[in-house]
Amino acid sequence: MVKDIIVNLSVTKEGSVVGKYAVSVAAALEAHLTGVAFIYDPVVPISGAGYIPAEVIEIQREDNETAADAAIKSFTAATDQAGISAEPLITNASLAGAGDYFARMARRFDLAIVGQAEPEISSMEQIIGETTLFESGRPMIMVPYIQKAPFKTDNVMICWDGSRTAARAVADAIPIIRKSGRVEIVIVASDRGKQDEIEGADIGQHLARHGLKVDVHRISGGNIDVGDALLSHAADSSADFMVMGGYGHSRLREFVLGGVTRSIFESMTLPVLLSH
């Protein structure tokens, strides 16, 4: 069961989407929700004279505190209106360290929720999302910055390729999608001859035994990117929630996403649960 959720609250002016979605998740799952807003340390260039003017540092610090306060106020208003158990938390972090900080916090929760990075506005959501996926050891829901609808699992799409990470994502998703109206398992055809199903361990039957209504579909990726093929099918089937394994690795503190995972991070049009 999912009873303890953490969400990274975006501190951009347009960043209330992820907090509102997280509130709807917590309400649906009857879970406690902790909302974290980071006050980022000032990052200012050294002046031509070789020093950083104190007033410049102070202005940026005040701006960062104001942004975090605004995110917390929006979160508190939403949790009060929903009547859920919630805790707002403001904490300081550097731009370089916030992702690791949030991922370590997320290890003590059942589920982490983060927002998709908005193009040309803030890269911090991207860093926090990648770090949380690889380092938290917990399932993560990433919410598109264009998301308007609350949490729904009327039509869930599971991306399946028989891999370890896909299996992990399915297992992590079951408590979240247990009341789904319909679950569609989507397998993207490939020319590699990879065995998608192991005899005696059919993933559709496995989910059906959990009481879920399941359809299995094999689609052709054609000449387009697999991530694009999955998102196109999600749109065509009116999916409102996607589940997939998160691929990639960490190299010298740099996170290298797999191609499909990167496509989803950049172009997602619906909330996606990812597990690594």
pLDDT digits (tens, 9 = 90+) for 196-205: 555 445 899 9
| Positions of the chain with pLDDT lower than 70, given as ranges | 44-51, 122, 190-201, 221-222, 248-258
Q: What is the pLDDT of residue 195?
A: 54
Q: What is the pLDDT of residue 177?
A: 95
Q: What is the pLDDT of residue 53?
A: 72
3 state DSSP class of 156: strand
Where b means 16+ CB within 10 Å and e means fewer, 252-264 reads: eeebebbebbbbb
Q: What is the pLDDT of residue 112?
A: 98
Q: pTM for this one?
A: 0.90
CB 88 within 8 A of CB 101: no
Q: What is the pLDDT of residue 252?
A: 45
Q: What is the pLDDT of residue 193?
A: 47
Q: What is the pLDDT of residue 46?
A: 62
CA angle 41/20/247 to nearest 5° reads 70
CB 137 within 8 A of CB 168: no
- Beta-bridge partner residues of 251: 254
- Beta-bridge partner residues of 218: 187
Rounded Cα distance between 91 and 257, Å, is 28
Q: What is the pLDDT of residue 186?
A: 92
3 state DSSP class of 188: strand
Rounded Cα distance between 7 and 18, Å, is 8
Rounded Cα distance between 79 and 89, Å, is 13
